[in-house]
Structure 1
Amino acid sequence: MRSSVEIFDVAGGETRIVWQTDRLVEAPNWSPDGNFLVINGNGRLYRLAFDGSEPTEIDTGFARQCNNDHGISPDGSTLVISDKTEFGQSAIYLLPAEGGTPRLVTRNLPSYWHGWSPDGRALAYCGIRDQVFDIYTISVDGGDERRLTHGEGRNDGPDWSPDGEWIYFNSSRTGRMQIWRVRPDGSDVKRITNSPYGDWFPHPSPDGKHLLVLSYDGDVFDHPRDLDVRLRLMDPEGGNAHVLFELFGGQGTMNVPNWSPSGDAFAFVRYQPER
């Protein structure tokens, strides 16, 4: 086994395995109807049911180099992908959830999707412009991007709060990577975590009760895979933070929104070392 796709029940504190494979797969999204997960592997996207069956590939047209920054619209009708086939750098596209031809959204590259506004009208993403990592938003119809951060360290991993009032993200502006949040208009920036860890990929729960964070050891740079990490849960304001469990993972474990629609569970990927 290389990759184990699993679900953690928050109330019961128990984990169950959905599917295991000797391939490298990453970044499970939970469908809004609760019926399946979307994962990526080897540049492709797959739909994974909960009945133990093998995943089925989603037709992404010409986009055959999808990375692990993908997701499903709040109404379940549309997929967003980040793919480098067309330009040699990651661009963000939309396509029908059942598969189809991708439509380009971001013309500035590279861009890596991470969050969808609750009303389905806007996307949040990390854009690298002149080697500077910042948080941007853009309409699902494309057009001009809005820059929310301005080179205060490396800024990455944005995800929207369920009420649409905040965009959570991770930033190295104070040295070690920590969790912050900002209004969608770029105002009122606030630090959420002040931990000894390297905190990445904040995901607010759909019920607004929790914030889930992937935490590396404090001396780890970037977000590599195949390390001992921990998943931590806290209040949306950062209080009551605690470790849910430790695992071998990192990159690919939960890069993108991974909560169940009800907010009582989340999906993640656990890894075994390559042999």
Structure 2
Amino acid sequence: MPRTLAPGQRARIHTIDVTTGTTHLVHESTEVLYEAPNWTLDGTALIVNGDGTLFRLPVDSSGDPEPIEIPGIPPLNNDHVLDPDGAHVFVSAEDGHIYRAPLTGGEADRITTQDGLLHFLHGVSPDGGTLAYVGVVTDPGGAWHAPNLFTIPATGGASVQLTEDEFPDDGAEFSPDGRWIYVNTERPLAGPPRAAGHAQLARMHPDGSGAEQLTHDKRVNWFPHPSPDGARLAYVSFPPGTVGHPADHDVIIRMCGPRGEDVTDLVNVFGGQGTMNVPSWSPDSTRIAYVDYPVGT
């Protein structure tokens, strides 16, 4: 079921200049719980999800969100990424599968075929040829196993499993040069095993080799988003002890270098789930988009 706003809660879509810290309120809603903004390749619009569908809205606040109609597929979740061709979007739906659809709306093609595995899209390779996703095996009773990482050709076909153990992984976005997949993981790549839920940022090669941990702090770090110029990562940092990436928490949007160096705080927000789940950088690497969910005045 698509998420909804609590009584008295709002969804506010913002952009922030990563150099000056200047924020801009793009849109505010008391009716639709919008999530997970992507930028269009021309930098003029954001793509968000809400109520199980996609919406497009101008970055300059000159218009309201307009739905992107994709008939014939189940409601969408907050895992959607634009195709590098600028004309299509890959989406994850509530049936657990990934689809590709025109960005202007229209019929979608299903990419994944394996039932019994929930597919949560997070990354598309720079050449548009490969998708990176988080796969979750479910028991007949509905219980989830630990999420692992996979890739699949963007046109469909056999998936390649990159991780396979009890340590949850998530995120999975390609670097702009295609040499790395950035993730968040509970796998202890450096130092002793960590407490359950203590995710840190890491990266690995697209074949799963060469994994290295990037952040080493007490906070719980999720969803690393490489900037288009490759110079920085933006991510969501939860308080110590957080398990998973829950909604309605006080979180920090942080930025660091591509190896985890030079961590800086960009903005404190009330959010978490839905705030910045998918690639959210502007094409010129100067701004990121995010959503917060304040309650009350």
With the length of structure 2 as denominator, give the TM-score of the two structures.
0.88
Shift of 1:101: 1.1
Instruction: Within 5 Å, give how 1:170-209 maps onto structure 2.
Output: 170-174=184-188, 175=194, 176-209=198-231
Q: Give, in angstroms, the shift of residue 51 of structure 1.
A: 3.8
| Corresponding residue number in structure 1 for 2:48 | 39
- What is the deviation of 1:114? 0.4
What CA deviation, in whole Å up to 9, does each residue of 1:76-115 have, x standing for no partner?
011111012xxxx321000111111111111222100001
Where does 1:24-173 land on structure 2 (aligned, <5 Å)? 24-52=33-61, 53-84=63-94, 89-108=95-114, 109-130=117-138, 131-173=145-187
Stretch moving more, 50-59 or 20-29 = 50-59
Q: Which runs of 5+ in 1 are unaligned?
A: none
How far apart, in 2, do the equivalents of 1:163 and 1:59 lie?
32
* Cα RMSD after superposing both structures: 1.3
CA distance in 2, matches of 1:210, 1:56: 31
Aligned to 2:247: 225
The alignment status of 1:235 with 2:257, answered yes or no, reads yes
| 1-structure distance, mates of 2:136, 2:97 | 11
Distance in 2 (CA, whole Å) between partners of 1:239 and 1:188 is 18
Distance 1:63 1:195 in 2: 41
8 A contact 2:238–2:252 mirrored in 1: yes
Distance 2:108 2:290 in 1: 26
When residues 274 and 124 of structure 1 are mapped into structure 2, their CA distance, relative to the original with a 3 A threshold, is farther
Distance 1:270 1:98 in 2: 26
Q: Secondary structure at the match of 1:237?
A: coil
Where 2:77 maps in the other structure, the secondary structure is coil
Counterpart Cα distance in 2 of 1:112 and 1:172: 18
Kept in 1: contact 2:56–2:68 (CA 8 A)? yes
Deviation, 1:274, is 7.3
Mark the runs of 5 or more structure 2 residues left unpaired by the alignment.
Answer: 1-8, 139-144, 189-193
**Aligned equivalents of 2:152 and 2:296: distance in 1?**
38
Contact map agreement 1:226 1:273 (CA 8 A) in 2: no
**Structure with higher strand content:** 1
Instruction: Please tell me the residue identity of whatever aligns with 1:69.
Output: D
Pick closer, same or farther for the CA change 1:162–1:154 going to 2, 3 Å.
Answer: same
* In structure 1, C-alpha distance between the alignment counterparts of 2:166 and 2:231, rounded to whole Å: 28
Per-residue CA deviations over 1:133-188 (Å, capped at 9, x if unaligned) read 11111101111001111125001111110010000001112331111111001110
CA distance in 1 between counterparts of 2:41 and 2:77 reads 21
The alignment partner of 1:67 has SS state of strand
Q: Look up the SS of the partner of 1:118 in the other structure.
A: coil
Q: How many residues align?
A: 271
Tell me if the contact between 1:152 and 1:172 (Cα under 8 Å) persists in the aligned partners. no
Give 1:63 shift. Answer: 2.2
Q: CA deviation at 1:132?
A: 3.0
TM-score w.r.t. structure 1 length?
0.95
Question: What percentage of aligned pairs have identical amino acids?
Answer: 41
Is the counterpart of residue 259 in structure 1 residue 281 in structure 2?
yes
Q: How far, CA to CA, are the matches of 1:180 and 1:150 in structure 2?
A: 16
| Partner of residue 270, structure 2 | 248
Which consecutive segments of 4 or more residues in structure 1 shift more than 2 A? none
Contact 2:274 2:291 in 1 (8 A): yes
